[in-house]
Amino acid sequence: MVAERGLPSRSQMIAELIRHELAEHSGERPDAMLAGTITLIYRAESGRVRHALAQTQLGYVKEVISAQNVFLEDDQAMEVLLVQGPAERLQQLCDALRKVRGVQQIKLVTTTALLPPLHFHGDDAPFDGESTPP
């Protein structure tokens, strides 16, 4: 595996495997905060599937950070969602997307590293780009 992935040492490979297992283990705790991606492959022949996916994502607006969609050959499309939130909510989102008729494949990949806060709450002012960030 070390040679196949072009890593300089076995210790780097072991560290990668440990990080992967730690993220998987954290995902088993429903309250664990995770960041990651959801990758979907679906039939693109009609707008019905894409509309159903968008409607499902609306119920998870706090968890879905962004989405990228590309069309593939053979009338298929791939959508990649950047997500963050409690493990239980991310799994619920995956389950809801899986139920959309036309979704052929779906995979959630997570990490315990989180995105920096996107919004400020309380008396904190958002960074304006000119002053020192809060």
The domain limits of the chain are: 2-111
Q: Are strands 103-111 and 76-86 parallel, antiparallel or unpaired?
A: unpaired
Percent of the chain with pLDDT over 90: 48
| Position 18 confidence tier, pLDDT thresholds 50, 70, 90 | confident
Whether 33 contacts 84, CB under 8 Å: yes
Q: pLDDT band for position 123 (50/70/90)?
A: low
Rounded mean pLDDT of the chain? 83
The pLDDT, as a whole number, for residue 17 is 81
Helix runs in 36-119, H state only? 47-58, 87-98
Query: Higher model confidence: residue 5 or residue 68?
Result: 68
> Among residues 36, 29, 42, which one has the least CA distance to residue 79?
42
The pTM for the full model equals: 0.71
Alpha-carbon span 93 to 107, nearest angstrom: 11
Mean pLDDT of 48-59: 94
Kindly tell me if the per-residue pLDDT of 70 is higher than 70: yes
Residue 7 has pLDDT above 90, yes or no: no
Does 3 score more than 60 pLDDT?
yes
Domain 2-111 sits in CATH 3.30.70.1150: yes
**Stretch 126-131: mean pLDDT:** 51
